[in-house]
Amino acid sequence: MIIVTGGAGFIGSCVVRTLNDRGVDDVVIVDNIGTTDKWLNIRNKKYLEYVNKAEFLQKLPQYKDVTAIIHMGACSSTTERDFDYLWTNNFEFTKALWNYCAEKQIQFIYASSAATYGDGSLGFDDRMDIDLLRPLNGYGYSKQLFDLWVKHQAEVFPAQHVGLKFFNVYGPNEYYKGSMASMVFHGFNQIQKDGEIRLFKSCDPNYADGEQLRDFVYVKDVCSVIMWFLDNPGKNGLFNVGTGHAEPFRRLAQQTFFALGKGENTKYIDMPEHLREKYQYYTKAEMSKLYEAGYDRPFKRIDEGVRDYVQNYLVNNFSNY
C-alpha cells in the first residue's frame, strides 16, 4: 500500500495517475477537498480510500502493509500570511509522518520547494549548507524548517528519506490552485477570454519586462523523478527537481500561443505591491546531484511540455491526467 497526501491536488493526483499506470491501485489518498472541485482530479483514478487530512494521523496506524508515504500535501500558497497555519500544516504534520515512517521503516518522499532558496543570491545548489538560506515568504520558510529538522536528525530515519525541491511545476490537474496555478494555465484562460496574455512588468532594472527567468518543469517529469526514487530505496537526501534551464516568462507565453496556433499577443501589467519585495526574478536548478545519484531520464523542453499540456488537456475542457 502507498499513501499519497495531497492526492487530490496538483502534483499528488498526477502521482496517483502514474502509480495507476504502473498497475498500482492499492493507494490511500489524503487531502482536504472540502467544497472545492479537486474531486475531479481523482474521479479517473483507482484507489482504496480517500481520507480527510484532519482524520488521517489518527487513522494512520490502522493501515497495514504500507510500503511508502509520498507526502505532497501542504499549503503551497506563497502569499499565505497565517504562519501558525503554515507551521502546523507544513512542518508539524510532516514531522509526524516522518516519525511514523521511521518507526515502521517505511519509504518517505516529501515535497520541499525551490522557495527555500529565497532571492537566489546564494545560488540554487542542493549541495549547499541549507542553514544559510533565507526564504522570502512564510511558505518557503515553513518548507526550509522541515529540511533543517531533517538535517539535524541524528538517529531516527525512515527506510528511505527523500526531500524534493520542486521548481516551477506546470501541467494538467493544477486547475484548482487559484492564483498559484502556472502562467500557462492563466495565460490559456486569458487567451480564450481576451486574446492576450498579461505578464507582470519587471521592477528590477536587471530584467526587462517578460524576461524574468524561472526553471519551469513539467509535472509528468516530476512524477518520473518520484517513481525513480520509489524504485531506488537506497537513495536518500534533498534533491532539486527542475530542468537545469532558466526560461523567460515571455517564452512560456509564446509557447502557449504557438500551441494554440496563434500569434503572440503579450501585454505587461504592473506587479502588485505585495509581491514586489518577495518576487524571485531568477531560478535555475542545479541538477548534478540528482544525475549523479543515477537518474538519467530527460526533462521535457518548454515547447514540448506546453504543447502537451495545452493540446491534450487545456483545450479538452481541462481534462485530467
User: Got the DSSP string for 101-129?
Assistant: HHHHT-EEEEEEEGGGGTTSTT---TTS-
Count CB neighbours of 3 within 10 A.
Answer: 25
CA distance 2 to 93: 18
Examine the residue annotation and report whether 262 is marked as an active-site residue of this protein. Answer: no
What dihedral angle (degrees, nearest 10) is formed by the CA atoms of 22, 241, 170, 106? 40
Give the list of residues 6+ apart from residue 253 with CB closer than 8 angstroms, or none: 183, 187, 197, 199, 210, 264, 266
| Model pLDDT, residue 150 | 95
Identify the CA nearest to 11 among candidates 197, 275, 241: 241
| Model pLDDT, residue 79 | 72
| Model pLDDT, residue 279 | 85
Catalytic residue, from 177, 235, 267, 289: name it. Answer: 177
* Angle of CA points 289, 113, 57, to nearest 5°: 110
Catalytic residue, from 47, 100, 117, 139: name it. Answer: 139
Distances (CA, A) of 135 to 141, 151, 255: 5, 17, 30
| Ordered mean pLDDT values, 10 residues apiece, the chain (321 residues) | 97 98 98 96 97 96 95 82 88 95 97 94 95 92 94 88 97 94 96 96 94 97 98 97 97 97 95 85 96 97 97 96 97
| Model pLDDT, residue 78 | 77
CATH for 2-171+215-244+284-299 (3.40.50.720, 3.40.640.10, 1.10.10.10, 3.60.21.10): 3.40.50.720
| Model pLDDT, residue 177 | 92
Cβ atoms of 37 and 9 closer than 8 Å = no
Examine the residue annotation and report whether 139 is marked as an active-site residue of this protein. Answer: yes
Identify the CA nearest to 7 among candidates 60, 81, 74: 74
CA distance 89 to 31: 12
